Structure 1
Amino acid sequence: MRHDEMIGKVQALARLPDRGTAERAAHAVVTTLSERLPSGLARHVAAQLPPDMADAMRQAADAAAVSGAPDTGAHGSGASGERFGLTAFAGRIADRAGTDEDTAIREAAAVLEVLDAALAPELTERMAGALPADIRELLPVERANEGGEAGR
């Protein structure tokens, strides 16, 4: 999916007033998501995104890996990502996007829906499995149910 198409979908789904707001929301969500996911998985997600969104995701994944997060070992995906739930997820997105937490949750759900459509199904399943249940609830219904308990 192309960048313009992704931003347009985020704008429509989150009912945002303009593309600039949608752009800020998308970058805030992918950056925060990248901090939460294992860095190897975040890099795999980034590889399927348009260049500027991919860059934001890779930078956050690289920063998380350098910060000394423990290695996941058997899964070979590098640093395990920070452990935080929905409240911190929404707070970080709100800070980055310059909005409140309720709006950040709505924006996150829109961005995650667009990512679900843009990424290979097996990658979105891995992403869902790496998230805790409260964040996973922001995913489209069928994906949220497939995530299992891997992200506890």
Structure 2
Amino acid sequence: MKYDEFIKHVQSVAQIDSREQAQQSIQATLEIIKERIVGDEAKDLAAQLPEEIAQYLRGREGENGQHFKLEEFIERVSEKAGVESTDAIMHIRAVFTVLQNAVSPGEFASFKHNFSDDFAELFPAVSA
């Protein structure tokens, strides 16, 4: 999936008005994902994404992820993206949905494995 396509899909799925806000939400979500998951898993996920998006996942190779709960994840993305928590939830869901379509099923399963069951509401309900 190309960079512009990724942005457009996130913008459409989350019903975000501006391309800039979609880009901010993608960056915020991926940077918080990078903090949350094992660094090598973030690197593997980045390898299947356009460089403009992949860069937000790099920099923690070899490190363990921080264990913070769903509410803190949402709050961190909300603050970083400059949106309300309710909007952040929709934006995160959109990013996760587009990620599922942008990477291989095996990579998405590995990525999802980094999250506890309380994060299930952020992931797409059915496989694409």
Regarding TM over 0.5, the answer is: yes
Q: Partner of 2:126: helix, strand, or coil? A: helix
Identical aligned pairs, as a percentage? 31
Q: Partner of 2:113: helix, strand, or coil? A: helix
Cα distance between partner residues in 2 of 1:2 and 1:128? 22
Cα distance between partner residues in 2 of 1:137 and 1:99? 19
Cα distance between partner residues in 1 of 2:70 and 2:46? 22
Aligned-pair CA distance for 1:9: 0.4
Structure 2: runs of 5 or more not aligned: none
If asked which structure has higher relative contact order (CA below 8 Å, sep 6+), I would say 2
Q: Partner of 1:17: helix, strand, or coil? A: coil
2:3 aligned residue: 3
2:64 aligned residue: 80
The one-character-per-residue Cα deviations of 1:43-94 (angstroms, maximum 9, x if unpaired) are 00011111121111103xx2xx6xxxxxxxxxxxx32200011111111101
Please say if 1:110 is aligned against 2:79.
Answer: no
**Aligned ranges 1:28-43 → 2 under 5 Å:** 28-43=28-43
Q: 1:133 aligns with which of 114, 117, 122?
A: 117
Q: What is the RMSD computed on CA atoms of the aligned residues?
A: 1.2
The one-character-per-residue Cα deviations of 1:113-136 (angstroms, maximum 9, x if unpaired) are 000000110010011111011223
The structure having more radius of gyration, on CA atoms, is 1
Q: Partner of 1:137: helix, strand, or coil? A: helix
TM-score between the two structures when normalised by the length of structure 2: 0.94
Aligned-pair CA distance for 1:142: 3.1
2:56 aligned residue: 56
Cα distance between partner residues in 2 of 1:122 and 1:57? 18
Please say if 1:124 is aligned against 2:124.
Answer: no
Cα distance between partner residues in 1 of 2:47 and 2:104? 11
Structure 1: runs of 5 or more not aligned: 66-77, 144-152
Cα distance between partner residues in 2 of 1:83 and 1:96? 18
Please say if 1:96 is aligned against 2:77.
Answer: no
TM-score between the two structures when normalised by the length of structure 1: 0.80
